Amino acid sequence: MKRLTILVCLSCFLILNSCEQKKEVPQMNTQKTFIDTVKERITAYSPVKVAVDTSFLSAKEKLLLVKLAEAGKIADEIFWQQSAHDARSVRDSLAKSTGKDNEILKQYVRINYGPYDVIYGNERFIPGEPKVRPLGAGFYPIDMTKDEFEKAIAENPSLKSQFEDLYTVIVRENGKLKAIPYSQYYSEIEALASKLEEASKYAEDKQLNAYLISRAKALRTNDYFESDMKWMDVKSSNIDIVIGPIETYQDQLFGYKASFEAVIMVKDWKATKQFEMFKKHITYFEKNLPEDPKFIRSNINEESQLNLVNVAYYGGDCQKGTKTIAASLPNDPRVREAKGGKNSMYLNMMKAKFEKNLVPIANIILDKDLIPFIDEDAFITSTTLHEVSHTLGRGYVYGNNKLEVRTALKERYSALEECKADILSMYNHLHLLNLKEFNDDMIKKARVTYLAGLFRSIRFGTESAHAKANLIQFNYLREKGAIVVDKDGKYKLDESKFWDAVKGLANLILTIQATGDYAKAGEILSKYAKMTPELEQAIKTLQNVPRDIDSSYLFE
Ligand SMILES: [Zn+2]
């Protein structure tokens, strides 16, 4: 995904903070307005119970789901410790208190996984300090600076790999920074590993069984490579699970540390079959990327999988604030080179967001002639192509097969990676039109749905990589004249300029990634990942539309 998933250097964060939605933040001066503000903010999340069809599962598979959900809840508990330094203590102290206002606070703390507001620049909405969540979330000492971290490595280069490792927490001991592996740091690890082993006994699918056992071992050894490889082999099971430390969005200081999450999925075989066509074009997409041909990889793994699934449980990172609707995993480029990626499209989540968020946005923001072209299938298709597009382009910097693009671009990576996936999703629509897989009507719907989608994602909050990615796209396409405003202040597209602008932006991002150009990534973020007065006005007209969903599942 990121996941749809994500991150910004300190200077860039400050720049964004200064020009983004600060004006929207209501004042929390008195107890009354403080509670009222939280009440108001909760309405940004439309409550929805997402449905999943389990009727075709065997009795044993249904028991397996129960066991996996138990494991998911343990992963969720670990994430509470990562989300913010005092997320768990705030949650637990609220749980002990009673009163109507406390119910509101509990609910909002649950949505945000702690006392910091995901939508409002991670501002604290519960009394306490600091007023804004430390960029390093719960992964580093709260007062640690980038400088202190980098100085410690400069003084002792042998610390570099453990300090920058995805699966270590940084603590300060006797005034010195120290990296502790997740396997030693989190007391829930053993319970989680045992639960996965217990669940494996209900998994009749051989590959799923092997993955669960291997994942338990990974949790204990802090080495996830082998289990990620085994996860790629899980293909024919009705049930699948993503569990463990996965995405690095929460670490906005460096983007190094992975957050725990759990996604329990029930496969939708019919929908999966529908989208199989994309897979056969992956090599074509890669060979025709709009970038300098020398950057195009010669070895493209064609084994990438594309699964349409319904979510039975979300826990941890993916459930925090804005909910994930799809994921392209695993993130380890060694696994991706060997076995491709597994793209999981969360069908019931996409449908919920289309109905609760996207349609109301389109009705307000788009030129009225475009509204009939807002389309659920187009939304699902472009989201699916977004995930496919995460597998395109370079995982390693050109000319340096040891340097991952992720590492080279550090905290600027996630927003650019999301932008790449979005813009290539659109660009690949054009390929599919040329290949006669899509027709003009589908392209029209895709473009209109894409335009409304930009406004949907820009509203995810200043700290979100997805919001930044969509700001880049909106501002770039607006600058190129591909997005225009009609006389009533509603948005539409200039179709004659659209594809050139899409191609131009795709080229820009792909080139930054291929060259691992950290400075240029910063330039693009400063120039485009920002709110403009016009956009701020437009977003204001959407204030009564929920920004996201507060979803609950078969297992809670
Ligand atoms: Zn993504």
Determine the distance separating the centroid of ligand 1 and the alpha carbon of 469, expressed in angstroms: 10
Ligand 1 centroid, distance to 426 Cα (angstroms) = 13
Cα separations (Å) of 353 from 1, 77, 125, 312, 377? 16, 26, 25, 16, 13
CA 392 to ligand 1 center in whole angstroms: 12
Of 330, 387, 318, nearest to 72 (Cα)? 318
Q: How many Å lie between the centroid of ligand 1 and the Cα of residue 296?
A: 20
| DSSP one-letter code for 129 | S
SS3 169: strand
Q: Which helix (H) or strand (E) holds 172?
A: strand 168-173
Q: How far apart are CA 168 and CA 179, in angstroms?
A: 6
CA of 361 to the centre of ligand 1 (A): 21
User: Token digits for 398?
Assistant: 């050109």
Cα(56) to centroid of ligand 1, in Å?
30
Centre of ligand 1 from the C-alpha of residue 424, in Å:
11
- The reported pLDDT for the residue numbered 32 is 56
Mean pLDDT confidence for 64-75: 98
Residues in the chain: 556
Close Cβ partners of 37 (under 8 Å, ≥ 6 residues apart): 26, 28, 125
What pLDDT does residue 301 have?
A: 67
Distance between Cα 387 and ligand 1 center (Å): 6
Torsion angle of C-alpha atoms 403, 404, 407, 411, degrees rounded to 10: 140
Q: Is the pLDDT of residue 18 over 60?
A: no
pLDDT in the model for residue 230: 98
Q: How far is the CA of 62 from the centre of ligand 1 (A)?
A: 30
Question: Ligand 1: distance of its center to the CA of 264 in Å?
Answer: 19
**What's the pTM value of the predicted model, to 2 decimals?**
0.85
CA distance 450 to 442: 12
CA 180 remoteness from chain centre: 26
pLDDT for the residue 462: 66
Closest by Cα among 531, 378, 401, 388 to 453 = 378
Distances (CA, A) of 296 to 414, 434, 499, 507: 21, 21, 21, 12
Q: Could you tell me the distance, in angstroms and rounded to a whole number, from the CA of residue 185 to the centre of ligand 1?
A: 29
- Measured between alpha carbons, how far is 255 from 8 in angstroms, rounded to an integer? 8
CA of 413 relative to ligand 1 center, distance in Å: 12
Q: Which residues contact 74 (CB under 8 A, 6 or more apart)?
A: 188, 191, 192, 195
Distance from the CA of 420 to the center of ligand 1, in angstroms? 8
Is the confidence at residue 29, as pLDDT, over 50?
Answer: no
Q: What is the 3-state secondary structure (H, E, C) of 301-343?
A: CCCCEEEEEEEEEEEEHHHCCCCCCEEEECCCHHHHHHHCCEE
Give residue 137's region: left, alpha or beta (phi > 0; psi -120 to 50): left
The answer to whether residues 50 and 181 touch, using CB atoms and an 8 Å cutoff, is no
State in Å: Cα 1 to ligand 1 middle: 4
CA–centroid distance, residue 130 to ligand 1 (Å): 30
User: Distance from the CA of 103 to the center of ligand 1, in angstroms?
Assistant: 33
Q: How far is the CA of 354 from the centre of ligand 1 (A)?
A: 17
Query: For the segment 70-127, what is each residue's pLDDT rounded down to a tens digit?
Result: 999 999 999 999 999 999 999 999 999 888 889 999 999 999 999 999 988 899 999 9
Give me the numbers of helices (H) and strands (E) for the chain, helices first please.
24, 13
d(CA 153, ligand 1 centre) in Å: 31
244 has pLDDT over 80: yes
Residue 195 Cα, ligand 1 centroid: separation in angstroms?
Answer: 30
Residue 537 has pLDDT above 70, yes or no: yes
> Is 47 within 8 Å of 549 (Cβ atoms)?
yes
For 407-466, write each residue's pLDDT tens digit.
Answer: 999 999 999 999 999 999 999 999 999 999 999 999 999 999 999 999 999 988 766 889
d(CA 387, CA 420): 10
How far, in Å, is the centroid of ligand 1 from the Cα of 241?
18
End-to-end CA distance of the chain: 23
Report how far ligand 1's centroid is from the alpha carbon of 80 (Å).
23
pLDDT interval class at 24 (50, 70, 90): very low
- Could you read off the pLDDT of 161-197 as tens digits, one per residue? 999 999 999 999 999 999 999 999 999 999 999 999 9
Q: Over the stretch 248-293, which tens digit does the pLDDT of each residue have? A: 989 999 999 999 999 999 999 999 999 989 988 989 999 999 999 9
pLDDT, position 31: 55
pLDDT band at 17 (very low <50, low <70, confident <90, very high): very low
CA of 405 to the centre of ligand 1 (A): 15
Query: What whole-number distance in Å separates Cα of residue 249 and Cα of residue 256?
Result: 9
Centroid of ligand 1 to alpha carbon of 419 (angstroms): 8
Distance 250 CA to ligand 1 centre (A): 15
Q: How far is the centre of ligand 1, averaged over its atoms, from the C-alpha of 2 (Å)?
A: 4
